Structure 1
Amino acid sequence: MEFKMKENSFVTELEFGQLEVSGNSDYGFRPFQLLVSSIAVCSGGILRKVLEKKRITYTDIKIKADVTRNAAGVNEVTDIHLHFTIIGADTTDEKIQKALEVTAKNCPIVQSVNKSIRITETFEQIKHA
């Protein structure tokens, strides 16, 4: 990836399109937003694969990410809590919990940051949307 400097941001061209990143949300995606998005979406994608491999059907997955940053430091991300809402699954909470454990161990982005950012996960099931 190559980033080119603009007046208020940096830009790169990727397969899907242009990505503009800035410390100011008026000019692009903020770096911490991309970090949190990467962790949440990687986890969601791996969870999807794990559920499918275990033949657990569902209709939708939603992820809410809560972020804690250290204002006393350089405002670094210290904690991310992911809350998964699994809609339309016909399974037990124990099976979902086990799937989340497998997900965390197999998500390359979570594993990349696990020594510097504490990541916790919870879930709820909604049987019918």
Structure 2
Amino acid sequence: MQAKVQWVGEEMFMGTSESGHSMLMDANGGNNAVSPLENILLSLGGCSSVDVVSILEKARQNIKDCVVEIDGTRVDTVPKLFSDIHLHFVITGTDVSEKHVARAVSLSADKYCSVALMLNASVNITHDFEIVEA
């Protein structure tokens, strides 16, 4: 897998993936676009959500929506790395089993989500969930 990031002026950078998709990034704290660190949170949430939805669908759970709220805490010293990231999954559906959601979230975090597995070495990643009846 390959990608390219090109400086486009001031503190703005255009990232282009091998598949040809582009994303603007703003190194100035995300004032004009997603910052690189915000992108890490979005990537973690996206990767985990893909797993959770896929696992729940394979378990024949009647889900209508999956939202993950992500809270990242950074250290106070430079470099301002993430120390902790918490993912809160909100699963909406009809008669969704708590056991199946717990299993899906756990499998994503511990086995399938590549982003989470890469970050686990240096970041404390936690997760929980709630189920909303549709």
TM above 0.5 = yes
- Match in the other structure for 1:13: 16
Gaps of 5+ in 2: none
Whether 2:56 is the aligned partner of 1:51: answer yes
1:93 CA displacement: 1.6
Q: Which has the higher strand share?
A: 2
Gaps of 5+ in 1: none
- Match in the other structure for 1:3: 5
Contact 1:70–1:76, Cα closer than 8 Å, also in 2: yes
Amino acid at match of 2:128: T
Distance in 1 (alpha carbons) for counterparts of 2:94 and 2:123: 30
- Match in the other structure for 1:115: 121
Amino acid at match of 2:108: T
Please give the per-residue CA displacement for 1:31-90, whole angstroms capped at 9, x wherever unaligned: 110000000110000101100111112111111001100013421111110001110141
Contact 1:65–1:80, Cα closer than 8 Å, also in 2: yes
Q: How does 1:2-81 map to 2 (within 5 A)?
A: 2-7=4-9, 8-14=11-17, 15=19, 17-24=21-28, 25-81=30-86
1:29 CA displacement: 1.6
How large is the RMSD of aligned CA atoms in angstroms? 1.6
Amino acid at match of 2:6: K
Distance in 2 (alpha carbons) for counterparts of 1:93 and 1:112: 27
Distance in 1 (alpha carbons) for counterparts of 2:98 and 2:69: 18
Q: Name the CA shift for 1:89/1:113 in 2 (closer, same or farther; >3 Å).
A: farther
SS of corresponding position for 1:110: helix
TM norm structure 2: 0.86
Please give the per-residue CA displacement for 1:16-39, whole angstroms capped at 9, x wherever unaligned: 643122221234320110000000
Percentage identity across aligned positions? 26
* More deviation, 45-54/5-14: 5-14
SS of corresponding position for 2:62: coil
TM norm structure 1: 0.89
